[in-house]
Protein backbone atom coordinates (compact mmCIF):
# COMPACT_ATOMS: atom_id res chain seq x y z
CA UNK A 1 0.00 0.00 0.00
CA UNK A 2 1.34 3.40 -0.90
CA UNK A 3 0.98 6.60 1.13
CA UNK A 4 -1.86 7.97 -1.01
CA UNK A 5 -3.89 4.75 -0.53
CA UNK A 6 -3.24 4.84 3.22
CA UNK A 7 -4.34 8.48 3.43
CA UNK A 8 -7.49 7.67 1.43
CA UNK A 9 -8.43 4.85 3.81
CA UNK A 10 -7.77 7.05 6.85
CA UNK A 11 -9.98 9.84 5.41
CA UNK A 12 -12.66 7.37 4.27
CA UNK A 13 -12.77 5.80 7.73
CA UNK A 14 -13.30 9.21 9.32
CA UNK A 15 -16.06 10.05 6.83
CA UNK A 16 -17.86 6.76 7.56
CA UNK A 17 -17.61 7.43 11.28
CA UNK A 18 -18.92 10.99 10.86
CA UNK A 19 -22.05 9.74 9.05
CA UNK A 20 -22.61 6.76 11.38
CA UNK A 21 -21.98 4.18 8.66
CA UNK A 22 -21.51 0.93 10.55
CA UNK A 23 -21.05 -1.44 7.60
CA UNK A 24 -19.99 -1.29 3.94
CA UNK A 25 -20.58 -4.33 1.74
CA UNK A 26 -20.64 -5.39 -1.88
CA UNK A 27 -24.23 -6.19 -2.82
CA UNK A 28 -24.12 -7.71 -6.32
CA UNK A 29 -23.20 -4.82 -8.61
CA UNK A 30 -23.62 -2.24 -5.86
CA UNK A 31 -21.62 -1.01 -2.93
CA UNK A 32 -23.96 -0.78 0.05
CA UNK A 33 -23.43 1.57 2.99
CA UNK A 34 -25.43 0.69 6.12
CA UNK A 35 -26.37 2.97 8.98
CA UNK A 36 -28.81 1.74 11.64
CA UNK A 37 -29.84 -1.11 9.31
CA UNK A 38 -30.79 1.34 6.53
CA UNK A 39 -29.02 0.82 3.20
CA UNK A 40 -27.69 3.30 0.66
CA UNK A 41 -26.57 1.49 -2.51
CA UNK A 42 -24.42 3.00 -5.23
CA UNK A 43 -23.74 1.28 -8.52
CA UNK A 44 -21.00 3.56 -9.81
CA UNK A 45 -19.19 6.86 -9.29
CA UNK A 46 -17.65 8.75 -12.22
CA UNK A 47 -16.20 12.16 -12.87
CA UNK A 48 -18.20 13.52 -15.83
CA UNK A 49 -16.71 16.63 -17.44
CA UNK A 50 -14.92 17.37 -14.18
CA UNK A 51 -18.06 16.99 -12.02
CA UNK A 52 -18.78 14.06 -9.68
CA UNK A 53 -21.73 11.84 -10.57
CA UNK A 54 -23.22 8.94 -8.59
CA UNK A 55 -25.00 6.43 -10.81
CA UNK A 56 -27.63 3.90 -9.73
CA UNK A 57 -28.24 5.31 -6.25
CA UNK A 58 -30.96 3.58 -4.24
CA UNK A 59 -31.85 4.06 -0.61
CA UNK A 60 -34.45 2.86 1.82
CA UNK A 61 -36.48 5.87 2.89
CA UNK A 62 -39.62 6.19 4.95
CA UNK A 63 -41.25 9.63 4.66
CA UNK A 64 -42.85 11.18 7.69
CA UNK A 65 -46.58 10.51 7.37
CA UNK A 66 -47.93 13.96 8.22
CA UNK A 67 -45.53 15.77 5.93
CA UNK A 68 -46.69 13.94 2.83
CA UNK A 69 -50.48 14.12 3.15
CA UNK A 70 -51.97 15.04 -0.21
CA UNK A 71 -55.03 16.66 1.34
CA UNK A 72 -56.88 17.08 4.59
CA UNK A 73 -59.91 14.92 5.41
CA UNK A 74 -62.08 18.06 5.43
CA UNK A 75 -61.16 18.61 1.75
CA UNK A 76 -62.64 15.28 0.66
CA UNK A 77 -65.76 15.50 -1.49
CA UNK A 78 -68.34 12.76 -0.82
CA UNK A 79 -69.90 13.10 -4.29
**Distance from C-alpha of 63 to C-alpha of 60, rounded to nearest angstrom:** 10
pLDDT over 90 (residue 9): yes
pLDDT over 60 (residue 16): yes
Kindly state the average pLDDT of the residues 2-19: 96
**Distance from C-alpha of 11 to C-alpha of 7, rounded to nearest angstrom:** 6
pLDDT score at 74: 55
**Distance from C-alpha of 71 to C-alpha of 57, rounded to nearest angstrom:** 30
- What are 48-78's pLDDT values in tens digits? 898 999 999 998 776 666 555 555 555 555 5
For 12, half-sphere exposure in the C-beta direction (CA atoms, 13 angstrom radius) is 9
Q: Which of 22, 39, 20 is nearest to 30 (CA)?
A: 39
pLDDT score at 10: 96
Amino acid sequence: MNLQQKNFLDDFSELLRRYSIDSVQCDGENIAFYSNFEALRIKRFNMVSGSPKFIGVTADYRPEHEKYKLFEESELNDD
